[in-house]
Amino acid sequence: MKALLLTEYQKMQHTDVDEPVVGDDDVLIQVEACGICGSDIHGYDGSTGRRIPPLVMGHEAAGTVVECGANVTDLETGARVTFDSMVSCGQCHFCRDGHQNLCDNRMVLGVSCGEYRRHGAFAQRISVPRRIVYELPESLPFEHAALVEAVSVAVHAVAVTPIRLGDTVVVVGAGMIGLLTLQAARAAGATRIIAVDLNDKRLETARQLGATDILRGDQVDVPAAVRDLTSGRGADVAFEVVGATPTIQTAIESVRKGGSVTLVGNVAPTIELPLQSVVTREIRLQGTCGCNGEYPQCIDLMNRGVINVEPLITAKISLADGPKWFERLYAGDPEQMKVVICPNG
């Protein structure tokens, strides 16, 4: 079958690869759409250490079932499905405790980190365990369903955050996940949502998707502006969706005393923390990783239009066009939000 193969860093090849092996508990899926994630772009040059060539990347996908393993009896050929990006073991303490996203033995599709190599969905077909597969309604297009994985990151972040009806929320970073997070926060009851970014186009998209206020982080003192918008108090909750010292500090200083900051971004391995501000104002810091079984809720939210992903899809491309698009995205293209590969047409 055809696939996009990372043959060496900064070199992607459209080539033939072996067909996936279908185990007794697996499902073979024809990939109809697969989104290019920011982590794939970072992996393209080896900077993450988690995409060691040769590797088929890609973990945001949807498609149709073409074959089921011997033990899979509840899915039919032709079923429309999506699947989690993470394969948990189901046996470790964290899996048994209901925290599959913290699994000791987890493997992520499209990742090769030395400990394992798990080819992903930049290919015509992929085999995944039945337990991570979710059926899709006919009304949800494949290119939208490919974004369920990204939506699940936002929904999980909101799920672990104490948001109450009527809260004011700041979202620092209006990239893909930030724009999904603000929609999830609105669905959870936040009535004032302040989006912060450096890009006017992304901020305008944030406004279209439900932000009540937008702030250019390089043109205003964001914490001061947030206080001005909240009668001097500060926001109840902040989501930091970048993962760097300046934006984390912005998020922390933008919340009120006793407020909560959820850290979603994961770019820098370490950051400087304004410890005294956190301690003396009793700020709650919450990390969040991936998702933990929220796919059904995400599919429902998307299917009912509560979370809208259509404005985030900026290009749909063929598998053969993948190499040049990776070069383009790696070089930096601020006009692109989510590029979706359609491997089978």
Average pLDDT over residues 225-241: 98
The pLDDT of residue 194 is above 90: yes
Q: Do 55 and 9 touch, CB atoms closer than 8 A?
A: no
> pLDDT at position 51, please?
94
Tokens of 342: 């359609």
Q: Which CATH architecture has domain 2-147+309-342?
A: Alpha-Beta Complex (3.90)
The pLDDT of residue 47 is above 90: no
Tens of pLDDT along 205-228?
999 999 999 999 999 999 999 999
Q: Which residue's structure tokens are 């990783």? A: 289
The pLDDT of residue 335 is above 90: no
> pLDDT at position 74, please?
96
The pLDDT of residue 84 is above 90: yes
The pLDDT of residue 118 is above 90: yes
- Predicted confidence band at 231 (pLDDT cuts at 50, 70, 90)? very high
> pLDDT at position 249, please?
98
The candidate with the shortest Cα–Cα distance to 271, out of 253, 289, 250, 244, is 244
Spans of all domains in the chain:
2-147+309-342, 160-287
The pLDDT of residue 130 is above 90: yes
What pTM does this model have?
A: 0.95
**C-beta neighbour count of 144 within 10 angstroms:** 24
* Distances 272 to 197, 199, 246, 275, 277 between C-alpha atoms, Å: 20, 24, 9, 9, 12
> pLDDT at position 345, please?
80
- Predicted confidence band at 49 (pLDDT cuts at 50, 70, 90)? confident
> pLDDT at position 80, please?
98
Q: Which CATH fold topology does 160-287 show?
A: Rossmann fold (3.40.50)
The pLDDT of residue 334 is above 90: no
> pLDDT at position 268, please?
84
Residue 153 phi, psi dihedral angles, 5° rounding: -65, -45
Q: 28 forms bridges with which residues in the sheet?
A: 67, 127
> pLDDT at position 114, please?
84
Q: Do 26 and 72 touch, CB atoms closer than 8 A?
A: yes
The pLDDT of residue 171 is above 90: yes
Q: Which residue's structure tokens are 């939208």? A: 144
Cα atoms found within 13 Å of the Cα of residue 47, Cβ hemisphere only: 13
Tens of pLDDT along 260-314?
999 999 888 899 999 999 999 999 999 999 999 999 999 999 999 999 999 999 9
> pLDDT at position 48, please?
81
> pLDDT at position 203, please?
97
Percentage of the chain with pLDDT > 90? 94
Q: Which residue's structure tokens are 């749909």? A: 316
Tokens of 44: 């393209």
Tens of pLDDT along 135-152?
999 999 999 999 999 999
